[in-house]
């Protein structure tokens, strides 16, 4: 724990009342959406300026105190969990949009800007910020950058990385680096910006980000299609991808849909029972595009790939169809799911899912498994639901035993053990299934350059040595 004198010194570095030590604050700020590790921070500090962040990092170096960054705390890999007496640096008060350039289509944000806040600001300018996911109402831009967040529009727009034009970061020594300065073309050696994207705060803290915006999409339209089996989803993707410029292509299982419909606030898309469902979105900018979508749907029905389907005819219907997919994570959270966020190249998805599903069903025949994910970019979310009678600890211990087999399959398919949720603490022991020993050694060497004293989010990405 931190000595009283050190804590008093920390209080002088930020605004009055912005160092918290009460039990409720420690509990709230010391965790993310994972439930694997109980939070145990020593204090919470809420800076307002870049200079205050630098002062906090220098203080931490002087006193050998570990720091954990905290954004919207929506992470799913325990990357923002403070479980060993660390000081949490929360960016809630660094939440301003600092500038906008209409010609370059860029916006300058502090790290605590909420994703939906950025999206709304872009809309006010007649533009679009396309990185979107279920937690957009609470996730923060700094956290999105730290995990290279993906979401539901990756098939068209890519990951967060694609939209970061420049960064200001405070390294583990307290230095302030300005990276790339918003340039489109910059061939001057190493692009350090990309080292900090997806680094989960282990190299330094993002204190300002210049984000790119895009033109607003026109007349977004969604279709939900029911398929007899998972294998039918891939030819459906191929058929629509060949005809339309898709902005999203998602999937979910009948078990997932049943949980959504049980909420009672989302209508069923249609009444034909199906094993899997695909949700696709596109810009119906002309009648010809809409006609092409309907013709492709009819072709898929004729091939036996689709049993039934519906296409949105209004903004309200579009939103209701999206709820079938976007509400899944929140809905199943009641059952404390054990989650795996895995990916392979799109062409390998059917065989990959079959192999993993076979392993899970063989070892956990009594557990309910809910599949969903971003099938258009090869990202699958495996969710094993906790039985009501079982304790959380016993359930997690039971599920952890299957990780080895699941990740061996991931390795065999040259996939990733974490497609978009980061490594954090939940995946750090399995990093070797996606990264070679040589890569891990290089990553550790890079961390040593930016964080020589190991104070920046230690114990995340790499297992403690």
Q: Is 225 helix (H, G, I), strand (E, B) or coil?
A: strand
171 in a structural domain: yes
Residues 101 and 89 in one domain: no
Distance CA 112, CA 48 (A): 10
Rounded to a whole number of angstroms, the CA Rg of the chain reads 23
Nearest of 69, 78, 93 to residue 34 by alpha carbon: 78
Distance CA 144, CA 78 (A): 14
Q: Does residue 37 belong to any structural domain of this protein?
A: yes
320 and 369: one domain?
no
pLDDT at 363: 87
Phi and psi (nearest 5°) for 20? Answer: -110, 140
In a domain, 273, yes or no: yes
Instruction: Tell me the pLDDT of the chain (465 aa) as tens digits.
Output: 788 889 999 999 999 999 999 999 999 999 998 888 999 999 999 999 999 999 999 999 999 999 999 999 999 899 999 999 999 999 999 999 999 999 999 999 999 999 999 999 999 999 999 999 888 999 999 999 999 999 999 999 999 999 999 999 999 999 999 999 999 999 999 999 999 999 999 999 999 999 999 999 999 999 999 999 999 999 999 999 989 999 999 999 999 999 999 999 999 999 999 999 999 999 999 999 999 999 999 999 999 999 999 999 999 999 999 999 999 998 998 899 998 999 999 999 999 999 998 998 898 888 999 999 998 999 999 999 999 999 988 998 988 888 889 999 999 999 999 999 999 999 999 999 999 999 999 999 999 999 999 999 999 999 887
Helices and strands in the chain, H and E counts: 15, 18
Picking from 246, 216, 211, 173, the residue whose alpha carbon sits closest to that of residue 451 is 173
Surface-to-core class of residue 89, CB atoms within 10 Å of its CB (0-12 exposed, 13-18 middle, 19+ buried): buried
> What is the CATH classification number for the domain harbouring 114?
3.30.465.10
Measure CA of the first residue to CA of the last residue in the chain; give whole Å.
21
Q: Would you say residue 430 lies in a domain? A: no
Give the end of a domain, one of 181, 215, 249. Answer: 215
pTM of the model: 0.94
Let me know whether 78 and 144 are in one domain.
no
Distance between CA atoms of residues 15 and 211, nearest Å: 28
Which DSSP letter does residue 32 get? -
pLDDT at 2: 85
Number of domains in the chain: 4
**Euclidean distance between CA atoms 372 and 183, whole angstroms:** 37
Q: What is the CATH number of the domain that holds 409?
A: 3.30.70.2740
**416 assigned to some structural domain:** yes
Q: Collapsing DSSP states into helix, strand and coil, what is residue 371?
A: strand
pLDDT of residue 366: 86
**CATH code (residue 83):** 3.30.43.10
* Whether residue 269 is found in the same domain as residue 161: no
Whether 295 and 386 share a structural domain? no
The per-residue pLDDT for 382 is 93
Structural domain contains residue 406: yes
Is the CA virtual torsion 49, 50, 53, 55 positive or negative?
A: negative
Q: What is the pLDDT of residue 66?
A: 98
Q: How far apart are CA 406 and CA 395, in angstroms?
A: 17
CATH number at residue 266: 3.30.70.2190
Residues 324 and 374 in one domain: no
Same domain membership, residue 369 and residue 315: no
Residue 111 contacts residue 118 (beta carbons within 8 Å)? no
| pLDDT computed for residue 400 by the predictor | 86
**Residue 185, pLDDT score:** 96
- Could you tell me the two tokens for 433? 């299934």
78 inside domain: yes
Nearest to 373 by CA among 353, 355, 359, 399: 353
Phi-psi category of 213—alpha, beta or left, where left has phi over 0 and alpha has psi -120 to 50? Answer: beta
Domain end call among 93, 112, 137: 93
Residue whose entry in the numeric block shows the structure tokens 């590790």: 37
Query: Any idea which residue has 């990357």 for tokens?
Result: 79
Confirm whether 461 is domain-assigned.
no
Q: Which of 8, 76, 1 is nearest to 42 (CA)?
A: 1
Token pair in block for residue 441: 């050694």
What stretches of 204-286 show up as alpha helix (H) in DSSP? Answer: 233-243, 254-262
Are both 316 and 403 inside the same structural domain?
A: no
Sign of the torsion angle spanned by Cα atoms 315, 318, 324, 327: negative
Is residue 227 domain-shared with residue 324, that is, in the same domain?
Answer: yes
- pLDDT, mean over the chain: 95
pLDDT of residue 134: 84
Q: Quick one: 170 and 105 in the same domain?
A: yes
Domain boundary among 160, 195, 215: 215
CA neighbor of 136 nearest in space, from 106, 157, 156, 160: 160
Residue 294 has a pLDDT of 97
Burial of residue 5, with CB atoms counted within 10 A of its CB: 0-12 exposed, 13-18 middle, 19 or more buried = exposed
**44 in the same domain as 151:** no
Q: Under 8 Å CB-to-CB from 142, ≥6 apart: which residues?
A: 69, 71, 91, 110, 111, 112, 205, 206, 209
Residues 235 and 283 in one domain: yes
Residues 442, 443, 447, 450, CA torsion sign: positive
What are the C-alpha distances in Å from 102 to residues 126, 180, 459?
10, 19, 41
Residue 318 to residue 429: CA distance in whole angstroms:
41
Q: Show the domain range for 198.
A: 97-215
Extract the tokens encoding 400. 């952890």
Q: What six digits make up the tokens of 202? A: 């282990």
**Edge-to-edge strands, sheet with 43-45:** 19-20, 43-45, 87-90, 67-70
């Amino acid at each position: 724990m931190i000595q009283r004198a050190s804590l008093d010194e920390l209080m002088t570095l930020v605004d009055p009342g912005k160092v918290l030590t009460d039990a409720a604050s420690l509990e709230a700020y010391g965790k993310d959406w994972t439930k694997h590790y109980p939070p145990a921070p020593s204090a919470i500090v809420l800076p307002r300026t870049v200079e205050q962040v630098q002062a906090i990092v220098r203080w931490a170096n002087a006193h050998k105190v570990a720091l954990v960054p905290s954004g919207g705390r929506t992470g799913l890999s325990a990357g923002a969990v403070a479980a060993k007496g660390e000081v949490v640096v929360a960016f809630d008060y660094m939440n301003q949009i600092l500038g906008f350039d209409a010609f370059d289509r860029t916006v300058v944000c502090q790290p605590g800007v909420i994703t939906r806040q950025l999206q709304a600001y872009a809309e006010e300018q007649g533009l679009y910020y396309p990185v979107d996911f279920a937690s957009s109402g609470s996730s923060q831009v700094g956290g999105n950058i730290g995990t290279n967040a993906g979401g539901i529009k990756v098939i068209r727009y890519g990951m967060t990385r694609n939209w970061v034009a420049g960064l200001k970061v405070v390294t583990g020594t307290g230095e302030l680096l300005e990276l790339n300065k918003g340039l489109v073309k910059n061939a001057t050696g190493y692009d350090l910006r990309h080292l900090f994207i997806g680094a989960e705060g282990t190299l330094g803290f993002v204190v300002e980000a210049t984000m790119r915006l895009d033109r607003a999409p026109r007349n977004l339209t969604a279709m939900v299609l029911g398929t007899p089996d998972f294998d039918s989803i891939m030819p459906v993707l191929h058929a629509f991808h060949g005809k339309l410029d898709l902005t999203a292509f998602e999937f979910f299982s009948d078990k997932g849909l049943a949980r959504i419909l049980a909420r009672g606030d989302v209508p069923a898309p249609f009444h034909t029972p199906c094993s899997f469902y695909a949700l696709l979105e596109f810009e119906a900018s002309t009648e010809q595009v809409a006609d092409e979508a309907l013709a492709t749907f009819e072709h898929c029905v004729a091939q036996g790939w689709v049993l039934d389907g519906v296409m949105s005819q209004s903004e309200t219907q579009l939103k209701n169809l999206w709820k079938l997919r976007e509400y899944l994570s929140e809905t199943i959270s009641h059952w404390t799911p054990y989650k795996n966020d895995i990916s392979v190249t799109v062409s390998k998805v059917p065989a990959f899912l079959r192999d993993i599903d076979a392993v899970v069903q063989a070892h956990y025949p009594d557990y309910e498994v809910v599949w969903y994910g971003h099938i258009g970019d090869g990202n699958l979310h495996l969710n094993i639901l906790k039985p009501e009678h079982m304790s959380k600890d016993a359930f997690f211990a039971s599920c952890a035993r299957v990780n080895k087999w699941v990740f061996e399959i991931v390795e065999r398919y040259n996939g990733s053990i974490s497609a978009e949720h980061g490594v954090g603490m939940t995946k750090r022991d399995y990093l070797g299934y996606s990264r070679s020993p040589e890569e891990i050694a290089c990553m550790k060497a890079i961390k040593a350059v930016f964080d020589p004293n190991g104070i920046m989010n230690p114990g995340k990405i790499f297992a403690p040595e």
